[in-house]
Amino acid sequence: MNVVASLLLKVELLYGADKAVFACTTNPHLLLIDDVIEDSPAPAEEYLLELGISQAALKRIRSAYPHFLLLSVERVLRGRVEYLTSVLGSASAAARTIGRYPNVLGLDVEANVRSYSLSAPTR
């Protein structure tokens, strides 16, 4: 079974078929994922709680972006959070941003953010 099929099956089993379909239709980049998927959302949830994400924000992430909770902490989430921390200046600012805008966890720092910021015109 390929990684995408595995991810969708896990999302479907954990959160329902409608969330799996929603995850793919709203996040087509999921079709490009390589080996970054975990078997359980527990490590990502624990990491986000340690970072300072509130239970309410975690519940919103679980509801709106359940596939983010299956991303590997070591291979994906930690790098994205470290990048946000470097840009925003503190881990607490990164936690607040993730709590308010959890879709930032879906940004691929190397492919989307850094390449854009390097090519963006300066004023």
Q: What is the pLDDT of residues 89-108, one digit of tens each?
A: 999 999 999 999 998 888 87
Residue 107: domain span: 3-119
Q: Return the top range by mean pLDDT from 49-58, 61-70, 112-121.
A: 49-58
* pLDDT value for 82: 92
Residue 50: pLDDT band (50, 70, 90) is very high
Q: How far is CA 13 from CA 16, 56, 102, 108, 112, in A?
A: 6, 22, 22, 25, 30
Q: How many distinct structural domains can be found in the chain?
A: 1
Above 80 in pLDDT, residue 58?
yes
Rounded (10°) angle between helices 55-64 and 42-51? 140
What SS3 class is residue 82? helix
